[in-house]
Structure 1
Amino acid sequence: MKILYALQATGNGHIARANVLVPKLKEHAEVDVFISGQNSQLPFKGNAVQNKGISLFYSKKGGLNYKKIIKKNSFVQFLRSVQNVPIQQYDLIINDFEPVTAYAAKYRNKKIIGLSHQAAVLHDKAPKPQKDFHLSKLILKKYAPIQNSFGFHFTKYDDTIFHPIIRNSIKNLNCEKEDYILVYLPSFYNDELYKVLSQIKNMDWVVFSPFSKTSKKQGNCTFFPIDEQLFTSYLATTKGVLCGAGFEFPAEVLHLKKMLYVVPIKGQFEQYCNYLALKELGVTGSEDLKVDKLKSWLYSNDIVDISFKDETDLLIEKVLNT
């Protein structure tokens, strides 16, 4: 069997998952990897075809920047990629929210299986906000449309939904708890973060940001550029984590039994769904970055005690049998 594993690189979670799943799939089949998108900082550990695809961008204060999304993406180039991607040579396409191969398979009637967190978010039994997110929800549905999918979520709402896949590098961490908070909010500019975090003077904040080119100490905040190895070392010893309401990284924080505070990206339907799912588990968060709420969280020392079962082998068996 020859498989094309396609994933998108808007964010790091899809690549983190691929770094676990692709080696497992290669035990059963010949696997090529196709990556589209342009704003991920985590490297894929292997050979892959890179494509510009369609990427998402954010405003200064943590919301989707639709003007930048339109400006930075070439939809003509995207359509050409859909026409030219060589999917006919593969017996199966496994798609982790990747739009080029999703549309190519749709229009060429090629067998494709979705394997993404987004599939679980859209499931009827998964929690969804009551607010109107018409445009963001439409993007989620139409970005990489696939009928037959397996999903990942914090809770198993259905037998087609699996627990998060935790990387071995996270499983093998020797954890301690030093008195600082690790911050990863890549949709916020550094000055916006400093404006809030500097007001909480009895805590040190270690911030990793795509907007940092060099490390910089500013008051009780230390800003670092994205560096996977350095980030992981700080994750091992932090007291807690302040991050977006994504999926893979909050799942890793929960696995490590660290304090967790999440802030969903404004206007992004998927992150608000995650925010609700995490709140159901007892995770603290807020829709805005507020000083009083962060202080209350810090004083609480709350840690959500949850364990995620490793279902990787079962998942691969189901995918290949399907």
Structure 2
Amino acid sequence: MAYVTPKIKILYAVQATGNGHIARAMQLMPYLEKYGEVDVFLSGSNSNLKAALPVKYRSNGLSLFYGNRGGLDYMKIWKQLDVRQLWKEANQLPVEQYDIVINDFECITSLACKLKQIPSINFGHQASFISPNTPKPLQKDMLGEWVLTHYATATNYIGLHFENYDDFIFSPIIKQQILEATPSNKGHVSVYLSHYSDEVVIAALQKCKDIPFHLFSKKATAIEQKRNITLMPISNDGFASSMIDAAGIITGAGFETPAEALYLGKKLLCLPIKGQYEQLCNAAALEKFRVPIINTIDEHFTATIYKWLSSLAPKPLTLQQSTNEIVGMVMEKGIVRKTAPRTENDFYLLYPDELSFA
């Protein structure tokens, strides 16, 4: 006879560079907590989204910072990098105290597991790039390829992407608010371009005088009207609500927001972050969904927006697996280690079907 053990200890390492990893972690948390006690290691220092998570360990980690014109701020990234501190934190992180270590593209946890020879699962969008079948741009970036495959290595991989490109790659994790929504079109365009300054984006959008925009800004603390632009603070629910009722969404070529826009059947216009190879890979995948990709905000940006809004909607995204199924596969694939001594009757098995939500 096998028993479902409800009190396993789970360490979930979440990358806090940007908002997508945190948004996904908040959606996953109730499902993970069905299996046991979850501690979160939050690594990174430039997310604008409040992490409503059981954070037990916190680190500045290795963060990405952006300039004002759509690219990375390499000088700031370099100044924030402290290799000695990363190594110290990896040695101190008690990964050996957990039954399962889940790593969402976080380098300190990856290093800690290597140093202490602890199995782990690289779970998230970046894990999908281990597969040769995952879409890539025609022009390869060797450094970018190395980062995607070596930045956070693990003993097991479960990837998330727009389509199931391989047998270990599954559907995106979509927020419940989006899953339960009835999309409508109230005429506005939702905009989130964190890799550009507000001034650059506002100047460009105000040229489209007859189009209302919801511009989500990391600097905004309250809703403010600037002619045809409603400047809004970043919030998980606020941005989701805006997308549900939008005529279209303009954003970077990340993963979570484009996936939700495609799921809602919304028109989507993407501007990849310059120099970020993962976004160029995502752009290659999004082009197969008929999503227009542009390189920068320039003098043609206004005409591009009008042309885009008059074009056909992209190919919709279909979820092949539910969040519950995906978390079940993560737990099943994870190497479950018991911290207490085993007995011959202690089978320590997991049955995701028995832990499903009503």
TM-score under structure 1 length normalisation: 0.93
Structure 2 equivalent of residue 86 of structure 1: 94
Displacement of 1:142: 3.3
Task: Report the counterpart of residue 283 of structure 1 in structure 2.
Answer: 291
C-alpha separation in 2, matches of 1:292 and 1:187: 21
Pairwise CA distance, 1:147: 4.2
Structure possessing the higher relative contact order (Cα contacts under 8 Å, 6 or more residues apart): 2
* Aligned position for 2:53: 46
- 2:238: which partner in 1? 230
Distance 2:267 2:140 in 1: 30
- Whether the 8 Å contact between 2:12 and 2:38 is mirrored in structure 1 is yes
Name the residue aligned to 2:189.
181
Alignment-derived partner of residue 129 in structure 2: 121
Does residue 308 (structure 1) correspond to residue 329 (structure 2)? The answer is no
Displacement after TM superposition at 1:305 (Å):
2.7
Secondary structure of the corresponding residue to residue 146 of structure 2: helix
In structure 1, the partner of 2:347 is none
Give the partner amino acid of 1:204. Answer: P
Give, in whole Å, the separation in 1 of the partners of 2:119 and 2:145: 25
Q: Secondary structure at the match of 1:285?
A: coil
Offset of residue 76 of structure 1: 2.6
* Distance in 2 of aligned mates of 1:317 and 1:214: 40
SS at match of 2:288: helix
Matched, 1:254 2:262: yes
Per the alignment, residue 317 of structure 1 pairs with 328
Q: In the alignment, which residue of structure 1 is the partner of 2:170?
A: 162
The alpha-carbon distance between structure 1 residues 320 and 97, as it changes in their structure 2 partners (threshold 3 A), is same
Report if the CA contact (8 A) 1:189-1:211 is conserved. no
Please, which of 64, 67, 72 is the counterpart of residue 59 of structure 1? 67
Partner of 2:26 in structure 1?
19
Closer/same/farther in 2, CA of residues 209 and 73 from structure 1, 3 Å limit: farther
Following superposition, the deviation at residue 266 of structure 1 comes to 0.6
How far residue 94 of structure 1 moved from its aligned partner, in angstroms, is 0.8
CA RMSD of aligned residues (A): 1.9
Query: Taking structure 1 as reference, are residues 309 and 205 closer, same or farther at Cα in structure 2, changes over 3 Å only?
Result: same
Deviation at 1:214, TM superposition (A): 4.1
What percent identity do the matched residue pairs reach?
38
SS of the residue aligned with 1:40? coil
- Comparing 147-156 with 226-235, greater Cα deviation is found at 226-235
Q: Structure 2 vs 1, CA of residues 188 and 19 (structure 1 numbering), >3 Å: closer, same or farther?
A: same
SS at match of 2:16: strand
Structure 2 residues not aligned, in runs of 5+:
1-7, 334-358
Task: Kindly state the Cα deviation for residue 253 of structure 1 after the two structures are TM-superposed.
Answer: 1.0
Question: 1:255 Cα deviation (Å)?
Answer: 1.3
Aligned counterparts of 2:15 and 2:135: Cα–Cα separation in 1: 24
Quote the Cα distance in structure 2 between the aligned partners of 1:11 and 1:88. Answer: 28
Deviations 1:150-197 (A, max 9, x none): 100001111100010111122123432111111001111011112322
Cα deviation for residue 132 of structure 1 reads 4.5
- Secondary structure of the residue aligned to 1:222 is strand
Partner SS, residue 189 of structure 2: strand
State the structure with more CA Rg: 2
Distance 1:314 1:23 in 2: 13
Q: Which moved more, 1:293-302 or 1:113-122?
A: 293-302
The residue number in structure 1 matching 2:160 is 152
- The superposition leaves residues 194-248 of structure 1 with CA deviations (integer Å, 9 ceiling, x where unpaired) of 2322222221221001133443332322222213333233222211100111101
| Aligned: 1:292 with 2:303 | yes
Aligned to 2:38: 31
CA contact (8 A) 2:205 2:213 kept: yes
Gaps of 5+ in 1: none
Separation in 2 of the partners of 1:197 and 1:134?
A: 35
2:118 alignment counterpart: 110
Q: Is the 8 A contact 2:259 2:317 kept in 1?
A: no
Q: Out of 83-92 and 213-222, give the one that drifted further.
A: 213-222
1:9 maps to 16
Aligned-pair CA distance for 1:301: 4.6
Counterpart of 1:207 in structure 2 is 215
Q: Is the 8 A contact 1:241 1:253 kept in 2?
A: yes
Q: Distance in 2 between matches of 1:122 and 1:248?
A: 19
Shift of 1:9: 0.9
Indicate whether 1:139 and 2:147 are aligned: yes
